[in-house]
Amino acid sequence: MLPVMTATERPLGRSTIARYAVGSIGTGGFGTLPGLVLVYYLTDTLGVTALLAGVIVTVAKIWDVIIDPVIGYRSDRALARTGSRRGPMLLGAIALPVCFLLTFAVPEGLAPGWAAAWVLVAFTLTATAFSLFQVPYIALPAEITTGYDARTRLLTWRVVVLSVAILLFGAGAPALRRAGPDEYTGYLVMALVAGLVIGAGLLIASFTAPKGAVPATDAAPATQRGSAWRGIREQYAAGVLVLRRSAPFRALLSTFVLQALATGLMLAAANYVAVWVLHSDDALTFLFLALIGPAILMAPAWGAVSRRVGKERAFLWASVLFAVATLGLTPLLFAPGAWVYLPVALAGAAYAGMQSLPMAMLPDVVSVDAATHGEGSAGSFGGVWTAGETAGMALGASALAVVLAVTGYAESVGSEVVAQSSAAVAGIAIAFSVVPAALALISLVTLGRYRLRRTDIDRAVQAQEETPR
């Protein structure tokens, strides 16, 4: 059994909050750019068909889903062995910029099939590097602080920085992409600048991982040392175990995955909406300004609301607002125009709560589980959570690729200009409005199954503090 490791003795200082939040510059950048430009890069620069572009993104993310529980388990073992999760975080922070640059370094003139293979390999390596950082990063709040409201404060500022990062990368990427003399060079410049900024954010946040005393327990059980395959089975079993034994975790994860699918679909569709529905390259920047500006302002507001009514109720309100806002985008089908920025702004206000509140609820779930089962499984929870989030975001891009393929979207190479059918344009509009709204409404059902309240968390924290170490 792994020792329960908490950080009740560590005050939640401003420097800790700041360093943890800086990590969202990296996570926001990586979460934004591939979802925003990768499918578009494949279809409109490399000449890859929409369906194959979706397959590439999906395969890379499926690999992510496979390895995340393993990384989570090993993160727990590293914590038990060394007292910190910092090692894999540093490795991911250093490797990601290199792999990210390679993803957008496809040589001009390469055949679409070979270009697709290049992107698949490079992006899979990039996603692996990101998981090495992200899985332990998600587990840290449960160890940095045990307070119900302190976690909300920690995650609120993370989402503020996340929103700023999404705005900067989402609005700045098109400008960087246009900085080159051609599309290939433009994407390369974008990847270089963005990769360095992402890596710097991840590197700084890696030092938020507490450096505790090394536990006296053995670094790994004999069964794990005796067989590599048995160890791998144990790693997946640990992820399955936390998923099976924690009903609040299943409810929270299901809700978050559905909403990640909705936001991932909108993110992937945004570039297409700007070009083919609103007929303006600049519209992409304005869409991000409309989405993220309110999110930056509303993240602290959702924290204040949660302190007054509880995280779960505030999360419900944010989810309902998002569903209403995305449903309000439906007129894009027949009357596109500048009015679109208003419902997008409402969706942005809701998005801030949909990010900060479930992330603040996750360490509460971990605390209750630890109080009940006496095991330090934050890494396993983080691995399964990251796998679910990754799957949701990936399926969003995959769903868009399917819509594009079904509606007859025409791919192009380099600066080649093509015309899109009315069916393809309608499919883009539906993917940006009706489908995300439906997913958000479905997520309300799973959120209704989340039963933990503040009193449950307080009892769990008290039980952990009274547990001998």
41-75 pLDDT, tens digit per residue, is: 998 889 999 889 888 888 887 887 788 777 877 77
- 103 phi/psi in degrees, rounded to 5: -60, -40
Higher pLDDT, 62 or 337: 337
Q: Which of 86-90, 248-252, 427-431 has the lowest mean pLDDT?
A: 86-90
Does residue 78 surpass a pLDDT of 80? no
Residue 228's nearest CA partner among 61, 1, 74 is 74
Residue in the block written with tokens 């990586």: 30
Residue 218: exposure state from Cβ atoms within 10 A (0-12, 13-18, ≥19) = exposed
**Band of pLDDT at residue 84, cut at 50, 70 and 90:** confident
Q: What is the pLDDT of residue 229?
A: 45
175 Cβ neighbours under 8 A, 6+ residues apart: 285
Q: Which of 255-264, 293-302, 455-464 has the lowest mean pLDDT?
A: 455-464
Higher pLDDT, 315 or 461: 315
CA distance 67 to 236: 9
Q: Which of 211-220, 287-296, 304-313 has the lowest mean pLDDT?
A: 211-220
Mean of pLDDT over the chain? 81
Q: What share of the chain is helix, strand, coil (3-state, %, to 5)?
A: 80, 0, 20
Does residue 176 surpass a pLDDT of 60? yes
CA distance 240 to 20: 28
Q: What is the pLDDT of residue 76?
A: 78
Q: What is the pLDDT of residue 4?
A: 40
Q: Is-contact 85 75, C-beta < 8 A?
A: yes
Q: What is the pLDDT of residue 227?
A: 43
The 10s digit of each residue's pLDDT in 269-278 is 888 899 899 9
Q: What is the pLDDT of residue 466?
A: 57
Ranked by mean pLDDT, the top range of 298-312, 390-404, 449-463 is 298-312
What percent of the chain lies above the pLDDT cut of 70? 85
Average pLDDT over residues 70-89: 79
Where do the domains of the chain lie, and which CATH numbers do they carry?
14-208+229-236+244-466 (1.20.1250.20)
The model scores a pTM over 0.85: no
Residue 46 bridge partners (DSSP): 413
Q: Is-contact 201 26, C-beta < 8 A?
A: yes
CA distance 142 to 360: 9
